[in-house]
Amino acid sequence: MSTARHIATAGLALAVAGCSGMKIQTDYNPAAVPSMQAYQTYSWIPDTGPREDPELNNPILISRIESAVDAALAAKGYQKQASGGDFQVGWFADVDQRTDYTTVNSYYGGYGWGGWYGGGMGMGTSRTTAHNWEEGTLVLVIADGKSKELVWHGSATAEVGREGSPEQRQQRINTAVEKIFANFPPGQ
């Protein structure tokens, strides 16, 4: 495992929460809305073992995400139970490599294609640059406590960043989780 990859993954949720370019998405089962509106307690979906990406087994990252979820749900009035809650909550995350390409054209003579008064095409150059970056996604899922069926999920996606103190990282995660839960439960 590379140190850079480890740092990037540990910073997944902090970037997801801190960037102005954060994309939030939610979806839910409309038939489950009355049940979701009646929820009062929650418990965590039992951990089924190591996460697929070993970098996401970082205990600091896990603790930050789970404490952010607990705080956001407590702020909405839900009470945490060790098991048997009205709903169960879980999370997963992923980091993907992304590349953006930018091409800049500069034309000499004339005014580009055709110019003014039919002045010709002109001579120009173009330069393409690549920007490689990591995109992190944090997904929160809600399953009904009785049926165990997925009833709601939300995600935050943004460029992964590595800056900030541990306190700033926790705050960024808190912000991402709050934004994901902003419309949970639906209809309230």
Q: What is the residue-wise DSSP string for 75-112?
A: HTT-EE-SS--SEEEEEEEEEEEEEEEEEEEEEESBTB
Q: Which domains does the chain possess?
A: 3-99+136-183 (3.30.160.670)
What are the pLDDT digits (tens) for 78-104?
999 999 999 999 998 887 777 777 878
Q: Choose among 128, 116, 10: nearest CA to 59.
A: 10
- Write the single-letter amino acid at 164: G
Q: Are the C-beta atoms of residues 128 and 48 closer than 8 Å to each other?
A: no
Handedness of CA 65, 68, 72, 74 (dihedral sign): positive
Q: Torsions phi, psi of 131, nearest 5? A: -120, 110
Handedness of CA 51, 53, 57, 63 (dihedral sign): negative
Give the pLDDT confidence score for residue 102 in this predicted structure: 82
Pairing of strands 87-108, 123-144: antiparallel
CA–CA separation, 170 and 76 (whole Å)? 19
CA–CA separation, 113 and 121 (whole Å)? 5
Cα angle, residue 54 at apex, residues 51 and 55 outer, rounded to 5°: 110
CA–CA separation, 111 and 31 (whole Å)? 59
pLDDT at 47 over 80: no
Q: Which helix (H) or strand (E) holds 123?
A: strand 123-144
* Model confidence pTM above 0.85: no
Give the pLDDT confidence score for residue 1 in this predicted structure: 35
What are the pLDDT digits (tens) for 113-125?
555 555 555 556 7
Inter-axis angle of helices 166-180 and 59-75, to 10 degrees? Answer: 50
